Amino acid sequence: MPALRQSVEELALVETARKVLPAGHFGNAQTEIIIREGRAGRVWDMSGNEYVDFLLGSGPMFVGHCHPDVVAATQAQIPKGTTFFVNNEHGIRLAEEIVKAVPCAEKVRFNSSGTEADLYAMRVARAFRKREKILKFEGGYHGMSDYSLMSLAPRRPGNFPVPVPDSAGIPRAVTEQVMIAPFNDAATAESMIAAHQDELAGVIVEPFQRLLPPKPGFLQALRAATQRYGIPLIFDEVVTGFRFAYGGAQDYYGVVPDLCSLGKIIGGGFPLAAVAGRADIMAHFDKALVGDDGFLMQIGTLSGNPVAAAAGLATLEVLRRPGAYEGVFATGRALMEGIAEQIRKAGLPAQVVGEPVLFDVIYTNTPVQNYRDTLRADANLQKHFNQHLRANGVLKGESKFYMSLAHTEADVAHTLKAFAAAIEALAQSPALAK
């Protein structure tokens, strides 16, 4: 494996990180490289190593790093003030654009992170339904709240619908308020919704779960079952919003929920997220409409931050330009197909899973449709492939290739060459021989 050069300065900062940060990192991507800068579809670390960037800050940089229009929008706002704690024009204009774009969005409430957006989406569903239980899907990621960290990645999955806490520090009582269903199993989800209709406050789902596309009819079945009993359906679109289509995954898959959470792209690389949905449900954020008993308090120092909102508006303007989505889908499809062809030629026990704007290689030959299917994958092989890709100038997370409008044919060619080099190197590794 090629050795990445690391400067004395970067190595010293890595040591400082180990001293002052738990586990030596921010809790996100666990790598000892330290990124110095990013432009378009590439980043550079402190030692000067250059990478094609498929991490993209975990997805927000959909138009690429330092897009000139986004930079200009933020530079225009910063001298005028960076936060006010009252309404600002950029935030209002951004909410207006979200309502225009997202099918379910009649009202918008901003916050600062996807975790908050999902938390408030579940809470407002409880306020509306006057019920407490939430149905979520095993393997679904909805942020870091107590309710979300149930059966996200259980090492020993339990029996449905009993949740498995994913973290220390979660009160035991929370497990009594969350029910777990298998993703892509419409019959089981429908039966659980019917059996617990009087207890459920809402059903939350990633319409595209991590890397797994919904099976035909699955989202439609959830929509029909929740409508039948008047239960709010929540789409977690923190990742998919404005990525799969300008109207998000609900537009892409043609299924409209009652509520959705948004994040990442709408902040243009700055901390910004939102809950959006039906006016009658979102009314619970307005005491004048629902009174003291129905009012959901939500206060955030940086909610609707003007710099973030300016960046988000500029990002969405770029995405509205002719050919934007066609271009990124074409680039992603070329990379998906190129990797799949290399896998086929090498006879690797692997498959490319996802959509052209968001995908990865899962190292198993067996079909992958839900979380438990992913447990059959070879995590060790995935780890080594990711290491080889990084050593050959390709940066990605543990899972996911995030595509951007800024990625080029040259970036695709570089990545395919790096993947081929990883195949060749690993084929000669006795430790990984099968």
Q: Are residues 76 and 94 in the same domain?
A: yes
Q: According to the model, what pLDDT value does residue 82 have? A: 97
Domain at 278, CATH number: 3.40.640.10
Rounded Cα–Cα distance for residues 170 and 179 (Å): 15
Rounded Cα–Cα distance for residues 378 and 360 (Å): 13
Percentage above 70 pLDDT, the chain: 98
Q: In the predicted model, what is the mean pLDDT of the chain?
A: 95
3 pLDDT more than 70? no
Could you say which of 319, 343, 373 is where a domain stops? 319
Domain region containing 170: 68-319
Q: What is the mean pLDDT of residues 231-240?
A: 98
Could you say which of 291, 319, 347 is where a domain stops? 319
Domain at 334, CATH number: 3.90.1150.10
Q: According to the model, what pLDDT value does residue 288 have? A: 97
Tell me how far CA of residue 169 lies from CA of 113, 146, 172, 179, in angstroms: 21, 9, 9, 19
Residue with tokens 């929008």: 73
Q: Are residues 308 and 385 in the same domain?
A: no
Could you say which of 290, 319, 348 is where a domain stops? 319
Q: Are residues 295 and 365 in the same domain?
A: no
DSSP-assigned beta bridge partners for residue 205: 235
DSSP-assigned beta bridge partners for residue 262: 237, 274
31 pLDDT more than 80? no
Rounded Cα–Cα distance for residues 116 and 309 (Å): 17
Percentage above 90 pLDDT, the chain: 92
Q: Are residues 72 and 59 in the same domain?
A: no
Q: Are residues 188 and 106 in the same domain?
A: yes
Q: What is the pLDDT of residues 385-394, one digit of tens each?
A: 999 999 999 9
432 pLDDT more than 80? no
Q: What is the mean pLDDT of residues 278-303?
A: 97
Residue 2 lies in a domain: no
Count up the domains in the chain and report the number.
2
- Burial class of residue 87 (count of CB atoms within 10 Å of its CB; 0-12, 13-18, 19+): exposed
430 pLDDT more than 90? no
Rounded Cα–Cα distance for residues 401 and 59 (Å): 9
Q: According to the model, what pLDDT value does residue 91 have? A: 98
Q: What is the mean pLDDT of residues 357-366?
A: 97
Q: Are residues 279 and 331 in the same domain?
A: no
Rounded Cα–Cα distance for residues 80 and 310 (Å): 12
Go through the chain and tell me how many residues it has.
434
Q: Are residues 53 and 175 in the same domain?
A: no
Q: Return the structure tokens found at 412.
A: 């695709």
Q: Are residues 106 and 204 in the same domain?
A: yes
Q: What is the pLDDT of residues 188-235, one digit of tens each?
A: 999 999 999 999 999 999 999 999 999 999 999 999 999 999 999 999
CB 34 within 8 A of CB 10: yes
Q: What is the mean pLDDT of residues 106-125?
A: 98
Q: Are residues 164 and 263 in the same domain?
A: yes
- Give the 3-state DSSP-derived string for the chain, with helices as H, strands as E and coil as C: CCCCCCCHHHHHHHHHHHHHCHHHCCCCCCCCCCEEEEEECEEEECCCCEEEECCHHHCCCCCCECCHHHHHHHHHHHHHCCCCCCCCHHHHHHHHHHHHHCCCCCEEEEECCHHHHHHHHHHHHHHHHCCCEEEEECCCCCCCCCCCCECCCCCCCCCCCCCCECCCCCCHHHHHHEEEECCCCHHHHHHHHHHCCCCEEEEEECCCECCECCCCCHHHHHHHHHHHHCCCEEEEECCCCCCCCCCCHHHHHCCCCCEEEECHHHHCCCCCEEEEECHHHHHHHCHHHHHHHHCCCCCCCCCCCHHHHHHHHHHHHHHCCCCHHHHHHHHHHHHHHHHHHHHHHHCCCCEEEEECCEEEEECCCCCCCCHHHHCCCCHHHHHHHHHHHHHCCEECCCCCEECCCCCCHHHHHHHHHHHHHHHHHHHCCHHHCC
Q: Are residues 280 and 349 in the same domain?
A: no
How are beta strands 233-237 and 200-205 bridged, if at all?
parallel
- State whether the Cα torsion 61-65-67-68 is positive or negative: positive
Catalytic residue ranges: 141, 236, 264
Residues 6+ apart with CB under 8 A from 285: 107, 109, 124, 295, 296, 298
CB 308 within 8 A of CB 264: no
Q: Are residues 281 and 359 in the same domain?
A: no
Q: Are residues 121 and 207 in the same domain?
A: yes
